Amino acid sequence: MLAIDFVNTLTSEDDHLEEWVSSQGLPWSERLRELRGQVEAAVLAARDGHEPDLAPLNAALRGAPAYDVLTWSGAVEMSREREGDEVARALAVLAGAAAELLASPAVRKVKTCEAPGCRLLFVPAHPRRRWCDPATCGNRVRVARYYQRHKD
Ligand SMILES: [Zn+2]
């Protein structure tokens, strides 16, 4: 999920935003870092049933309005383009991904990883899942519990 991937570029240890943005083929701007914080705050508020601050996301969406373009290549194809400069388009694409999540019932299922020191968000495939990744965080917690139980 693009909005969750965007927010998760900030881990407890590291900030991967610049690499992630370039891996998405988007241009770099410090405004993306600001937008990430706004998206995270909005997702957490909506998850908890509180009114999120939607103004910054609406501003990003308005900065590069989308329109559909029809082309012919043996069949009619429709693609979505955006107006505006490339940074405005990047902000709008990521705000658009956040908008899809915020307006969907999935936002109520977003969880924060319960492993100590992990801040990653995830939408669990199974409602009882507690860790962003059972293979890393889940395993780390189980190993820590094992040592806790067996240390005496
Ligand atoms: Zn985790």
Q: In this predicted model, what pLDDT tens digit does every residue of 89-104 receive, in sequence order?
A: 999 999 999 999 999 9
What mean pLDDT do residues 21-38 have? 97
What mean pLDDT do residues 2-25 have? 96
pLDDT score at 32: 98
Distance 121 CA to ligand 1 centre (A): 8
Q: Which is higher by pLDDT, 139 or 61? A: 61
Backbone angles phi, psi at 103, to 5 degrees: -90, 5
Q: Is the per-residue pLDDT at 30 higher than 80? A: yes
CA distances from 13 to 113, 117, 129, 130, 142 (A): 15, 9, 23, 20, 21
pLDDT score at 147: 84
Distance 115 CA to ligand 1 centre (A): 5
Distance 74 CA to ligand 1 centre (A): 47
Best CA proximity match to 98, nearest among 70, 118, 121, 130: 121
pLDDT score at 31: 97
Q: Is the per-residue pLDDT at 152 higher than 70? A: no
Distance 36 CA to ligand 1 centre (A): 19
pLDDT score at 103: 98
Q: What is the Cα–Cα distance from 117 to 125, expressed in whole angstroms?
A: 22
pLDDT tens column, 126-138: 889 999 998 889 8
What mean pLDDT do residues 10-31 have? 96
Distance 71 CA to ligand 1 centre (A): 43
Average the pLDDT over each of 70-79, 126-135, 139-148 and give the range with the smallest value.
139-148
Q: What is the Cα–Cα distance from 88 to 141, expressed in whole angstroms?
A: 41
Mean pLDDT of the chain: 95
pLDDT score at 142: 84
